[in-house]
Structure 1
Amino acid sequence: MKKMITYIIIALVFLISACQQPPKKEKSIEIDQNGYAILSDQEVENIVKRSFQYVAMYNVNNKFAIGQGGWNTLVADTNLKDHTMTEIARPNNDSFYTTALLDLRAEPVIMFLPAFDSKYVSLMVTSYDHYVDVPKATRNGDFKRPEKILFYSDRTEDYSGEPVNGVDLIYKTTGDFVSAVLRIMPHANEPERFKKIVETIKTTKIQTLSEYQGREPITPEQVDFPKTGQTDLDVFKNNLLEVMQFIFNHISFDTSDEEDRAVLEAYKPLGIMPGKEFNPEGIKIDGEKFYTVAEKIQQEYLAKLNDPNLIKEMSPKMFKTKGLTDLETILTVSIIGPIGLPMEEAMYPNVTSADGESLNSMNDYVIKMTKDQLPPAGAFWSLTLYDKANGFFIPNDSKKYSVGENSGFKLNADGGIEIYVTADKPSNVPEENWLPVNRQDQEIDIILRIYVPDMEKMESWKAPVAEKM
C-alpha cells in the first residue's frame, strides 16, 4: 500500500512539473530587411525535397486541365502519342490514356467505366500530393462489365460518402482536384480489335452527382490557380509559396503520417499552412536559390537512373498510396516522371549502357535479348526512347518512339530480339525494331515498361544493356 501511495505521489509531482513547463516555442525564422526568409542551405534543401512531389503533380494536372478545357472534363486518346506531348515527362507510346480531371469541391463526380476487350486496362487516381492508387485493373478481374465510380473528398460540400443508387464504388480521394486516368492497351497491331477498343473508349464519360440524379449541376466557386511553370524548376524559382499554399488548402493531411508532418513543419515558419490565404506581401524566399538547389537535386536524382539496383530496390515503394512509400522514392519518381503505376501493375527498369557511360545520341547502340531474356510480362512490354534532360520523345520523321506490341516489333528466328538505337536505320534491320536519334550531343534515356510483371521471374530477371556500335 505504501508503495502504491509513493508511486501516486511521484506521478503527481511529474504531472504538476509538466504543467508548469513553459509552452514549447514554435519554430521561427529570421527575416531580412527586405522581407526575405533567412534559410540555411540545409533548410532550403529540405523544403525543396519535400516539395517536388507536390510541384510536379500541380504542374502536370493543371497543364492537362488547361489543355483539355478545364476541370470536370474528360479527354480520351484514340491515337498513340507523339513528340508533341510535352505536358508530362516520360509519357508512354504503348497505351491510350483517358484522362478525367475532377473538381470535387462543390459536389461528387461519377465516372462511367465501360468493359474492355484488352489485355491491359487500369484506373489510376492521384491528387496534388502525388500518392497513387489503382482502384480498378484487369489484373484484378475488372473491366469485364460496365461500372460507375463516384469520387469525393474531405471538402466536398454536402456529401460524406453515403451510397448512391446505381453507383458501384464510392471512392474518397486525398484532394479536391484529382486526375482519374484510364490506361488502355489498344492492340494497335490488330486492326479490328483496335477499332473496337477505340469505339469503347468513346463511351467513357463523367457526370456530377446532380446531373446523374437529373438535377442542374452545382457550379463550383471560381478559383484563381497559381501559374504553372514550363518546368517544375520554374515553380521553385517564381511562385513556390503561392503554389504550396494553394495545394495545402486542397489536399488532406494526416498528422500521424511522418512525411505529412515534416512538410507541414517545413512550411509553417514561412506562413504556409492549410486553411490560410496566400499573402503576396508576406514572407518571401530567394527564388534563384531555390531554383539552383532544385536543379542540383534534379540532376542528382536523374543520375540515379544509371543504377539499376537502386531502381529495383525502390520499385516496391514506387507510385503507392500514403504510408506505403517514402520521401526518397516519391522524390525520385517525381523527378524522373510523375504519375505511374505501382509494381504490381507495371515496372519501369532502365536500359543502361554496357560500358557504364551515359547514353548519348552521338553514338549508335544495339539492345539484344534472347527468347529467355525477354521481359516477363503478364500483359505486354515496351521499350521507349527519351531525351534525358526533359523526358520527351525524340522528334523524328518516322514518328517512332518505342518498340513493343502496339508500336510493333519483330522477333528473330530464335524468338529473341535486337533493337537498334541509331541515327540511320541499318539496312538489314526491321523498321519495327529501330529507334531513331538525331546526331547531336544529347543524353538519352531508354525505359522498359513491363505490364503485370511476373514477380517470381522478376527476382532473377535482368534488364538488357545498350551496347555501343
Structure 2
Amino acid sequence: MRTLKLLLIPVCIAVGAQASAQGNAVPDLLLTTPATPEVIQKGLHADGYSLAIMAYYWGYPLVRMERVAREYTDVPSPKPTTSYRAPLDHIGWATSLASPDAKDMPTANNDTYYMSAVLDLTEPYVLTVPDTHDRYYVVDVFNMWQELEHYIGRRTTGTRAGKYVLVPPGWKGTLPKDAKRLDVSTRKVWLWGRLHVKQGEETAPVLALQKQFTVVPLRGKVPNDATLPPLPRTDNDEFGFFTELAAALKDNAIKPADRALFAQFARIGLTEKGFDPGKLDAATRKGMAKGLSDAPAVAISSFASTSTVRNGWNWVTGLDRFGHNYPLRAMVAGPYLGGQGEHEAMYPIRYTDSTGQTLSGANQYVVKLASAPPVGAFWSLTMYNADDKMLVANDLGRYKVGSDTPGLKVAPDGSITIPISHTKPTGENAANWLPAPSGNFYVILRLYQPSDAILSGKWELPQLNKIN
C-alpha cells in the first residue's frame, strides 16, 4: 500500500501541474493558426516588413559611411572655406567655422575647424600631430560601421607632438618605434577632427597649425588621383538601399557577433553573395517596401529608448560604444554623424520648452545657466533649423552663444541668461541673444570634456522657458 502511494504521488503532481498550466497559460496561437493562403500572405508580408527594418538599421551606418567616403573625397573647385573635403588618403581642413551655407555636415558645430581624411589602408598609415600648446583638438578614428575606435587629442593623448600608426586588419610587419600602434577593424577608416577656434581670434596661427597634421603610408607616397570605385547606381529602384548594402559588404566583413542576425536577411534576398530579390513573392516585397519607408522612424525613435531626459534635455550616452544598439548607431550615423562619447563631449539636445511645446521662432524663450558649465575645455549653445538640421542664418551672423562669445554677459552671481527669439530682444541680457529662425528649431548645448559634476547630474542642465 505504501509503495502504491509513493507511485501515485508523481502522477498526481504531474496531473496537477498540467491542470494548473492549462488553467493559467496564455493561448498558444501557433498551435491554432491555420496554414490558409490568407495567413501565409499575412506572414510573408510581416516577415518582409520586419526583416527590412532590421536590415536597414543594422546596415545603414555602413552604407552611410561608404557614401560619405566618396562625398568627402570629391573636392569641389573652388573649395569653400567651410569644406574639409580632400582627396582619398589626404587630410582636408575647413579654414573657417561652419555657417548656414555649409551643407556637408548636418548639426555641425560652430566652435571648431573640422578635419576629414578618408584612408584606404592598403598598408599602415602614419598620422603625425603637432604640439597645439593646450589648444583643444581631437582626431576620431571611425571604422566603416561609424564606430569610434580611437581618440587622439587633448583629453586622451595630450597636446604635445606625436605619431600614431593606423594598422589595418591582418597586417603583419615592423612599425616605427616612435609611433603608437592603433589597430582598426576595417580597411577603410575615417579620421574626423576638430580644432578649437575662439570667436574673433587671429586665425593665421591656427591655419599654420593645421598644416602640421600629416598622414602618409608607412612605405611609399600617396598619388593625388587615387579614388574609390563608385557605388552601384540604383536610380529609382525601391530596394536600391539593399543593393548598396550588398556592395558595401563585399569590402567590409560581417562581424562574428552579427552573423546570426545577418543570416536572417537571406529570406529577403540579402546574402554575402549580394542582393537578389528575383525569387521574392509579392507579399514579401510589399512588406519590405513598407519596412524601408518606416525604418528611418525606428532609428530616430531610439532617442526614446536609449536617452534619458534631464530637465527637458535629451541626454544620450554611449556614442562610442553602441554594442548591439543598431537603431542608435544608425540614428547617429545619419544626422549626428561623427558624434563622440560622453567623456570627450556631451550634446544635450532640446526640442521643446518647459511645458513640452515644440520650440518655434514665433515665441520668445530664455535659458538661464546657474553658472558656466564646469567643462575641461569649452561650451556652447547652438541653434539649428528643425527641418534641415542646419545652422540658422541671421543678420548678426551668430549661430551659438558660449564660453568664447565676445561680450558674454555674466551676472554677479555667476549665472548666464541667454534670450532666444527670432527678433532681437531688449534688456540687460540682449548681448547674449541667440537668434532663432521664424519656424521650428532645436538647440544643442555642447560640453567639451565635461566634468564628473556634469556627467553625474550634480551640475543641473538649465531649463528653457517661454516668456511670452
TM-score by length of 1: 0.76
> Measured at CA, do residues 248 and 57 of structure 1 come closer, stay the same or move farther in structure 2, by a change above 3 Å?
same
Match of 1:446 among 434, 443, 446: 443
Matched, 1:344 2:343: yes
Find out whether 1:358 has 2:375 as its counterpart: no
SS of equivalent residue, structure 1 residue 244: helix
Instruction: Output the CA distance in 2 between the equivalents of 1:128 and 1:311.
Output: 33
Aligned equivalents of 1:288, 1:310: Cα separation in 2: 39
**How has the CA–CA distance of structure 1 residues 268 and 279 changed in structure 2, closer, same or farther, with 3 Å as cutoff?**
closer
Paired residue secondary structure (1:49): helix
1:44 to 49, 52, 55: 52
Counterparts of residues 232-271 of structure 1 (less than 5 Å): 239-255=240-256, 257=257, 260-261=258-259, 263-271=261-269
CA gap of 1:182–1:457, structure 2 versus 1, over 3 A, is: closer
Aligned counterpart, 2:197: 186
Aligned residue for 2:408, secondary structure, equals coil
Residue 391 of structure 1: CA displacement? 1.7
With over 3 angstroms needed to count, the CA separation of the structure-2 counterparts of 1:409 and 1:95, relative to structure 1, is: farther
Q: How does 1:54-453 map to 2 (within 5 A)?
A: 54-67=62-75, 68-104=85-121, 106-145=122-161, 147-154=162-169, 160-165=171-176, 168-191=179-202, 194-211=203-220, 223-226=229-232, 239-255=240-256, 257=257, 260-261=258-259, 263-274=261-272, 276=273, 288-297=289-298, 300-301=301-302, 308-309=309-310, 315-320=316-321, 323=323, 326-351=325-350, 352-371=352-371, 374-408=372-406, 410-414=408-412, 415-428=414-427, 433-440=432-439, 442=440, 444-453=441-450
Q: Which amino acid aligns with 2:126?
A: I
The 1:308/1:38 distance shift into structure 2, 3 A limit, reads closer
Gaps of 5+ in 2: 1-39, 76-84
Do the aligned partners of 2:137 and 2:154 also contact (CA within 8 Å) in 1? yes
State the Cα distance separating 1:126 from its structure 2 match.
Answer: 0.9
Conserved in 1, the CA contact under 8 Å of 2:87 and 2:226? no
Deviation at 1:447, TM superposition (A): 0.7
Contact (CA 8 Å) 1:118, 1:186: kept in 2 or not? no
Partner amino acid for 1:385? M
Shift of 1:40: 3.7
CA 1:187–1:249: 2 relative to 1, 3 Å? same
Q: In 2, Cα distance between the equivalents of 1:391 and 1:422? A: 18
Could you tell me how far 1:302 is from its partner in structure 2?
6.2
* Partner AA of 2:359 in structure 1: L
Provide Cα deviations, 1:56-111, integer angstroms capped at 9, x if missing partner. 4334443222243542122112211111222232111111112111122x333322
**1:165 positional shift:** 2.9
CA distance in 1, matches of 2:234, 2:116: 19
* Amino acid corresponding to residue 354 of structure 1 in structure 2: S
**Highest Rg: 1 or 2?**
2
The percent identity for this pair of structures is 21
Task: Report if aligned partners of 1:319, 1:339 keep a CA contact under 8 Å in 2.
Answer: no
Q: Which SS does the other structure have where 1:384 is aligned? A: strand
Classify 1:198/1:289 alpha carbon distance in 2 versus 1 (closer, same or farther; 3 Å).
same
Q: Tell me, what secondary structure is at the counterpart of 1:125? A: strand
CA 1:431–1:413 in 2, change beyond 3 Å: closer, same or farther? closer
**How far did 1:383 drift?**
0.9
How far the C-alpha of 1:408 sits from its partner, in A, is 4.1
Q: CA RMSD in A?
A: 3.6
Contact 1:118/1:185 (<8 A) preserved: no
Amino acid corresponding to residue 391 of structure 1 in structure 2 = K
CA shift, 1:313, in A, is: 9.3
CA contact (8 A) 2:309 2:315 kept: no
Q: Helix, strand or coil: the match of 2:114?
A: strand
Contact 1:153/1:173, CA 8 A, preserved across alignment: yes
On the 8 A contact 2:134/2:159 being kept in 1, the answer is no
Deviation at 1:273, TM superposition (A): 3.7
- Pick which of 457-466 and 405-414 moved more: 405-414
The Cα shift of 1:44 comes to 2.8
What per-residue deviation string (whole Å, max 9, x for no partner) do you get for residues 237-259 of structure 1? 5621122112222234331x2xx
Task: Give secondary structure in 2 for the equivalent of 1:210.
Answer: coil
Bigger drift between 358-367 and 457-466 goes to: 457-466
Measured in 2, the distance between the counterparts of 1:85 and 1:117 equals 29
Q: Does the 8 Å contact 1:302/1:336 carry over to 2?
A: no
Counterpart amino acid of residue 293 in structure 1: D
C-alpha offsets along residues 387-423 of structure 1, whole Å, 9 cap, x if unaligned? Answer: 2233211222333211123454613232221112211
Per the alignment, do residues 202 and 238 of structure 1 end up closer, same or farther by CA in structure 2, a change over 3 Å counting?
A: farther
Residue 189 (structure 1) shift? 4.2
In structure 1, runs of 5+ residues without a counterpart are: 1-31
Give the whole-Å Cα distance in 2 for the aligned partners of 1:174 and 1:135.
15
Greater shift, 169-178 or 303-312, is seen at 303-312
SS of residue in 2 equivalent to 1:175: coil
Using the TM superposition, name which of 408-417 and 339-348 deviates more: 408-417
Q: Name the residue aligned to 1:24.
A: none
Quick check: 1:127–1:179 contact (8 Å CA) kept in 2? yes
Task: Give yes or no for contact 1:381–1:404 (8 Å, CA) kept in 2.
Answer: yes
CA distance in 1, matches of 2:87, 2:231: 11
For the structure 1 residues 349 and 455, does the alpha-carbon distance in structure 2 shift closer, same or farther, using more than 3 Å as the test?
A: same
Return the offset for 1:430. 6.2
